[in-house]
Structure 1
């Protein structure tokens, strides 16, 4: 028994494409990109695939939701050239990124609890909630220079009084300053804080952010599940690659 069923079964590009709703051109593109192993050619020049190629395609598509296209492509290229360690490194990086995103989410949730109802929404310029740099710095027990540093980093955006040129912090600015202050106390760097402040601004404040955080939490859970699904498919593909006679 020289060749097993895997190597004897020959598939056309359409046989790989149809189950996934892909075009045959997409299958050829994946092969050219190294996502699929190189296919043999018939005497007339047509590509001839095997079930191993079908497994490779299914593996790549399973890796996509958790890793994204560039990383999933890198994983498959590494595996197909026999560089499993390089593929595992890419997988580790995706898991590390997911862990960092989870920590970021927890940090935002923690800050929201710490800020409480005092951090309100933005009011009109000149409203009673507006304050100046000195009183705000005293309120946060920091130096005015720290607030100016946060402003330079785009974390706080006070307006300027047209007559005096003084910085005027509205309710939203106070909210942002308190958010930054809490995160800095938690050990976060300014460049790590910037996307969190953007999340608050995009949501329109802390209250609307709650819904965004729920969605964020759901997306992280879905990504974690997708990483598991992709890992299972990749493990099956690696097993087939390591079985003698399964290579095309």
Structure 2
């Protein structure tokens, strides 16, 4: 049996952190010696290492919930919970890849002979002509959430005006659609680029994000074997 101090040495957690994680149900309740001191086993050390990997992969809140839940849920539900964890990481990876695809389009636009935008905004007619599209296509893309034009009041009602960001999104959409991307994939790319806010240093940002996601995926794989053991033994 191990003392809490020995477990702290073996795992890198502080004594108080181990007590907190025990209280939260992340690790099993320790046995008590006749003198009242906690006594831990090798499974506690194993589970704490798994928790560290899982927290790196999905965040400490979700990791605590998962490790507590799989000890109480029926086998099928516990297994389903763990099998669902990689989905969020895969979604984040897809977002980063979509943003990188959109970024390539932005960079390509900057190095081609595409007609520069002469004004801060364009009408739907001006933009459709610049891109070689029908105005109805731009309206459809707006309905699909790919473009967000401004609305300005005119004598006859209201009209669409496309600011620079909307023009950029329209160029990205045109290029990705021409490359065979479906509407959902284009929407994902546009959303990812919008989330970057500043695309000036976005290639490095995206490369770093993908590297971090890969590390988190590996951490999840390391934790998975222990999580399966916990489910099996619960």
Stretches of structure 2 lacking an aligned partner (at least 5 in a row) = 112-116
Pairwise CA RMSD: 3.8
Counting only pairs closer than 5 Å after superposition, residues 33-112 of structure 1 correspond to structure 2 as: 33-81=24-72, 83-112=74-103
Partner deviation per Cα, 1:167-216 (whole Å, 9 max, x = no partner): 5434433112333554795231897466314234x1235xx322222122
CA spacing shift, 1:86–1:73, aligned 2, 3 Å? farther
Counterpart selection for 1:134 from 125, 142, 167:
125
Counterpart-to-counterpart distance in 2, 1:59 and 1:84? 19
Partner of 1:213: 206
Counterpart-to-counterpart distance in 2, 1:232 and 1:115? 42
1:186 partnered with 2:182: yes
Partner of 1:123: none
CA spacing shift, 1:167–1:204, aligned 2, 3 Å? farther
1:15 partnered with 2:6: yes
> Contact 2:121/2:164 (CA < 8 Å) preserved in 1?
yes
Instruction: Tell me the TM-score normalized by structure 2.
Output: 0.72
Counterpart-to-counterpart distance in 2, 1:16 and 1:80? 21
Instruction: Tell me the TM-score normalized by structure 1.
Output: 0.69
Counting only pairs closer than 5 Å after superposition, residues 194-233 of structure 1 correspond to structure 2 as: 195-200=191-196, 202-204=197-199, 208-233=201-226
Shift of 1:46: 2.7
Partner of 1:204, secondary structure, is coil
Counterpart-to-counterpart distance in 2, 1:84 and 1:30? 23
Partner deviation per Cα, 1:124-175 (whole Å, 9 max, x = no partner): xx9446422222244343425446547xx695365869xx986543443311
